[in-house]
Amino acid sequence: MSYIKEYELWLQNVTGTERSELENIRNNDNEIKERFHASLEFGTAGLRGIIGLGINRMNSYVVARATQGLSNQLKKTNTDGKALSVCIAYDSRNKSEEFARTAARVLAANGIKAYIFPELKPVPELSFSVRFKKAAAGIAITASHNPAKYNGYKVYGSDGAQLSPELASIVLEEIEKTPMFGGAKIIDFEEGLTSGMIEFLGEETENAYLDNVLAQSQNPEIVKKAGKNMKFVYTPLHGSGNKLVRAALGKLGFENVLVVKEQEAPDGDFPTVTSPNPENKEAFTLAIDLAKKNDADLIIGTDPDADRVGILVRDKSGEYVALTGNQIGVLLCEYILSSKKEKGTLPKDGFVVKTIVTTNLAKEICDFYGVELKDVLTGFKFIGEKIKEAEESGKGTYLFGFEESYGSLTGTYARDKDAVSASMLIAEMAVYYKEKGLSLYDQLQKIYEKYGFYHEFVESITMEGLDGIAKIKAIMENIRQNPPKTLGGKKVLAVRDYSTSLRTDTESGKTEEIFLPKSNVLYFELEDKNNFIVRPSGTEPKIKLYCLLQGKTPDETSKIAKLLGEDIKTLTK
């Protein structure tokens, strides 16, 4: 169907303010094409898009159709005929509660029990709840750290991890069979509550989740002894982390938690920030002001669905500096492994998991403690897969997993990154090192002194619209067909193309297989243990370029970074 015919179909089927929204774009062909040229892509991360009417937008019709597809998949793969249930959570984004209730109504109409949280909750609690309630799947209504105009629909499997590619493909098939209008079964929300097919999740689930979060503490006695001496600022960035992050910190024993009042209340417009992303220092402007006024040791911030955490620490001059996701990850990795070794609880079969675009400093840390490091593709679902493999095989003890995009998980109670437990561990870690006369900034420098200096950065280039999609595809294809021979002044030693699962030695031409799922990623191994990776974002209209650098001094890596910056401009023209 052409985008114009699709537009006309929607005009025939919506009324009131929704029809007015579509009437207002009647003479705007570009806008009509943007909204109706193709459906939002359903992948292993579910759906994500701009809020509005149209098949390429996030709205209740798209959510209902997706949920019908999920319902069909659950029934199709339910070979033992057991009763099915799905847990549903939502964050502070605009229309999140509406979309969550729409999903519950469709599930209930299909004879699948919907457990829904009565208020906004973090994604990691949703992941936990799926396992806790022994549900067949989970749905989280969120667009993570995207700008305010976005929302999304993430689907989780029965293990609490994001849906596997195999199941996601079945869901997609079922979605495509379902007409947008009249294709999804749906009942009233109140009817679902009355019949028992929709049920609100109670305190039991939340208390169990918090118990599991608190169990990840490595040195609770340190907090009991000195937690009151630690002063830090926390901001939920208008999201879902506020209650649970503060609850975890309070239960562990922290008393001096200063919350940024202007960012405390949930607000899908995120009025105090350009983007509610803890990766961006600009999101912490108000937090820095509060920290300076109160002489705080540390600043912690979580994103809207509370799966990512960013921190700012004081450097030698007393200024608050933002740490990267890689730096936060290696601090936690060193802290967890060293604490377990100190207590004699480090298992011989322990392992850590990271994504291929995450710092290789993790390998040095794991080698030092005699722990295996496993590399996986980008996406926390792949870290979840490694936890599941260890559980099912009985081989290996999961210790920690992290990715450069500010997400980590300690423990196996959930299968997605958890900013609640990460915030708690960061605060605990800060107290632990403070007792040793070190700030987190000092400890990071000690890690570099111990293992070598590492410097990582990511360049993200946004290319929105239909032209943007085409340009990203063209850039990837050009680099694939014409791979650079040098990058950052360093010779390219080998190229890993994850779309073909082959690693090619540039000098000999010899190839070897990569034993990871296929993905549109190009990985360049450079001289002196430097690396450069290119991939399109799976959730945003961006191409992402990762620079993983290593040198003897910061100056050395800065020179490589400068040259790489010039190369990036050439590669992405």
Report, as residue numbers or ranges, the catalytic residues.
144
Adjacent-strand bridge partners of 491: 486
Alpha helices for 14-59 (secondary structure H): 16-23, 29-36
In our burial notation (b when 16+ CB lie closer than 10 A, e otherwise), range 128-158 reads bbbbbbebbbbbbbbbbbbebebbbbbbbbb
By CB atoms closer than 10 A (0-12, 13-18, 19+), residue 345 is: exposed
Nearest to 444 by CA among 329, 281, 280, 555: 329
Spatial CB neighbours of 199, under 8 Å, sequence gap ≥ 6: 113, 114, 115, 116, 193
Beta strands per DSSP E along 15-105: 47-50, 85-90
CA 538 to chain centre: 11
What tokens appear for 195 in the block? Answer: 């019949």
CA 31 to chain centre: 29
- 128 with 160: CB under 8 angstroms? yes
- 474 with 506: CB under 8 angstroms? no
Spatial CB neighbours of 338, under 8 Å, sequence gap ≥ 6: 369
- 234 with 301: CB under 8 angstroms? yes
In our burial notation (b when 16+ CB lie closer than 10 A, e otherwise), range 501-514 reads bebbeeeeeeeeeb
Cα 128 to Cα 131: distance, rounded to the nearest angstrom:
5
Cα 330 to Cα 402: distance, rounded to the nearest angstrom:
9
Nearest to 548 by CA among 269, 247, 367, 329: 329
Amino acid letter for position 343: K
